[in-house]
Amino acid sequence: MPFAGGLVEREKSFDVYDKYSGRVIDSVTLMEPGDVETAVATALRGLKDLNALTGFERQHILLRTADSVLARKQRLVDILIAETGMTSAQADFEVTRSSNILRLYAAEALYLQGEAPTLDADARGKGRHGYSFRVPAGVVAAISAFNNPLVLLSHKLGPSIAVGDAVVFKPASLTPLASLEVCMLFLEAGLPPNSLNVLSGSGETLGPVLAGNPDVRVITFTGGREVGEQIARAAGVKRLLMELGSNCPNIVCSDAHLDFAVHNLVDAAYSYQGQNCLHAQRILVQEDVYDEFKERFIDTAARLRMGDPKSASTDIGPMISESAAKRVEAWVNEAHEKGSKLLLGGKRSGTFYEPTLLENAPPGSLISSREIYGPVAVLIRFSDIVEAVDIANSTDYGLQAAIFTNKIDEALYSLRNLQFGTVMINESTDFRVDMMPFGGFKGSGIGREGVRHSIEAMSEIRMAVYNQSSSR
C-alpha cells in the first residue's frame, strides 16, 4: 500500500470483507499513532517537491490520473462492488464520476486567481500597488467515509494537488481498497512520492492524532457528526472542511407531478441502501394528495429487487456491515414501539435490510431527528407550506432539502426559509453535480466542497504590496 510514495509493511493488518459473501478479499496494513508523525513529516518534505511544479505540471498529473482511472475501470468497479456492496451500475457511475471530478480540478490548477485592489482608494495607499494570489495551505489531512470511496478521494486529493498541497490521506477502514489503487495511480502519473501519504487503519485511533498534529494546516473530513466533533476538538487552530451528514426533508405539495415525485423519491430513499448523506429520509406530503402518493410510492418501492450486487438486475445490495443493518433494525423497531406504522419492509437478513417505509414516526424518535444511514424513509403529512417548512427545519441537520411544486410562491417561501445549504425545486435531495457549493447549515458541517470552493478552502491568500515612491 502507498505510504510516503512506496510500500510499507507492519506486523499487524486488518481484513477487508466482501459485503455480499462475507469472505475476506484482502488484508491491509494496520498503522498506529506513531505512523502519523512519520506521514506528516514526510508530507512536509513532499510539499517542497510539489511546490516546485508548475500549474501546468500539476494539471497534467491530475489529467493522467483521471485517464488511468478510466483505463482501469472494470477492476475498480469489481473492487467497489465487493468492498462497498454497491450495485454494478452504482460502481460504474462511481468510477466515471471520480475521473470527471479530477478533470474539473485539473482545469482549476491553471486558474488560481487573486485580485488587484485599488490601494489608493485609501489616502495611505498613495504610490502603492498590490495584488493577491493563492498559495498552498501546506499539509492537508484528508479523512474519508466508506460510502463513496473514489468520489470522496477525488474531492479531497483533486483540489489539494491542484493548488500544491501535500496530503496525508486516511481512507475508511471498511472500504480502503479502491482508494489505495487510485493513490498508486497518482504516483504513476508523476506526483512527487512524498507529497502523498496514506494511513490505513482505525479512524478512532489515527484520526484525532492526525487532526491534532501542528504541521497539518487543513482538515477535510467526511463522516459522522460525533467523529467530526472529536476531530474539531483535537484540531485547534486549523482550517476545517467537514461534511457531517443530514436528515434530508423532501416536501411534496398537492400540485406536484406525483409520478415524477414518486420516481425521484423512491430512488433517493433507497439507492446505495440509503447509505448516503443526501438520502431522502423524511418525505413530507400535503394532506390533499397524501394517500395517493403513499399508494404509488409503496407500489413502486415494492418492486425493488434485493440481491447480489454483481447482478445487473439488483437494485438493493447489502449494507456496509451487519452491525449497521442491526442499528437500522433497532431504530425502526424503536419508532414502531413509539407508535409509528410500518407500511413497507422492516426486515433484516444478515447485512441486508429491506427498503422500508414508515408513517407517523413521533418527533422524539431517532429516525425523525437523526441520520439513519440506511434504506428507510418516513412519510409525514402536512397542511400548508408554513407547516412543512417548520417540520423540515426541526432537526439539527441542514445539508439539503427539496420541494416538489409548480407554485412559485411556495418555491420562493421554501428558498427563503428552509435552513439548508441547498434547496432543490422539483428535484430530490439526492442530487449533486460536483461544481456545486456543497455543504450544510447547523450540524451538517463546516465550509463548502465543489471545485472552486474546495480550491479556496485548501489554499491561502497572500497579498503583495509594492511602494513605488520608495524608488524615487
The predicted model gives 350-371 an average pLDDT of 93
Q: Please list, residue by residue across 173-198, b when 16 or more beta carbons sit within 10 angstroms of its beta carbon and e when fewer do.
A: bbbbbbbbbbbbbbbebebbbbbbbb
- 147 in a structural domain: yes
Which helix (H) or strand (E) is 190 found in, with range?
A: none
Amino acid, res. 37: E
- 302 in a structural domain: yes
Residue 127 has pLDDT above 70, yes or no: yes
**Among candidates 223, 268, 253, which has minimal Cα distance to 241?**
223
**Among candidates 160, 101, 100, 167, which has minimal Cα distance to 134?**
160
275 and 229 both lie in a single domain = no
96 and 43 both lie in a single domain = yes
- 75 in a structural domain: yes
212 and 336 both lie in a single domain = no
10 and 54 both lie in a single domain = yes
231 and 302 both lie in a single domain = no
Residue 145 has pLDDT above 90, yes or no: yes
What is the Cβ-side half-sphere exposure of residue 170, based on CA atoms within 13 angstroms?
Answer: 29
Residue 458 has pLDDT above 70, yes or no: yes
Residue 9 has pLDDT above 90, yes or no: no
Q: Please list, residue by residue across 326-358, b when 16 or more beta carbons sit within 10 angstroms of its beta carbon and e when fewer do.
A: ebbbebbeebbebebeebbbbebeebbbbbbbb
- 216 in a structural domain: yes
- Domain span at residue 100 reads 2-244+444-464
The three-state secondary structure class of 80 is: helix
- 180 in a structural domain: yes
Q: Give the separation between CA 421 and CA 407, rounded to whole angstroms.
A: 22
Model confidence at 1, in pLDDT bands (50, 70, 90)? very low
- 49 in a structural domain: yes
310-313: long-range pairs with CB below 8 Å, 24+: 310/20, 310/81, 310/88, 311/88, 312/88, 312/89
Q: What is the pLDDT of residue 111?
A: 86
Q: Give the separation between CA 126 and CA 468, rounded to whole angstroms.
A: 9
Average pLDDT of every residue of the chain: 95
The predicted model gives 402-417 an average pLDDT of 97
Q: What is the pLDDT of residue 3?
A: 56
What CATH code is carried by the domain that includes residue 132?
3.40.605.10
3-state helix, strand, coil split of the chain in percent (to 5) is 45, 25, 35
The predicted model gives 333-338 an average pLDDT of 93
52 and 188 both lie in a single domain = yes
Bridge partners (DSSP) listed for residue 241:
220
- 472 in a structural domain: no
The separation between CA 333 and the C-alpha centre of its own chain, rounded to angstroms, equals 28
Residue in the structure block whose three cell numbers are 493563492: 134
Residue in the structure block whose three cell numbers are 506486523: 11
The predicted model gives 195-220 an average pLDDT of 94
- 436 in a structural domain: no
Q: What is the pLDDT of residue 11?
A: 77
277 and 414 both lie in a single domain = yes
Q: Which residues contact 54 (CB under 8 A, 6 or more apart)?
A: none
The predicted model gives 306-317 an average pLDDT of 96
Q: What is the pLDDT of residue 468?
A: 86
What CATH code is carried by the domain that includes residue 421?
3.40.309.10
348 and 296 both lie in a single domain = yes
Residue 338 has pLDDT above 80, yes or no: yes
Model confidence at 4, in pLDDT bands (50, 70, 90)? low
**Residues with catalytic annotation?**
243, 277
Domain count for the chain, please give it.
Answer: 2
334 and 347 both lie in a single domain = yes
Q: What is the pLDDT of residues 49-69, one digit of tens each?
A: 999 999 999 999 999 999 999
178 and 190 both lie in a single domain = yes
Q: What is the pLDDT of residues 312-322, one digit of tens each?
A: 999 999 999 99
Q: Give the separation between CA 394 and CA 390, rounded to whole angstroms.
A: 6
- Full-prediction pTM beyond 0.85? yes
214 and 337 both lie in a single domain = no
The predicted model gives 215-232 an average pLDDT of 94
383 and 451 both lie in a single domain = no
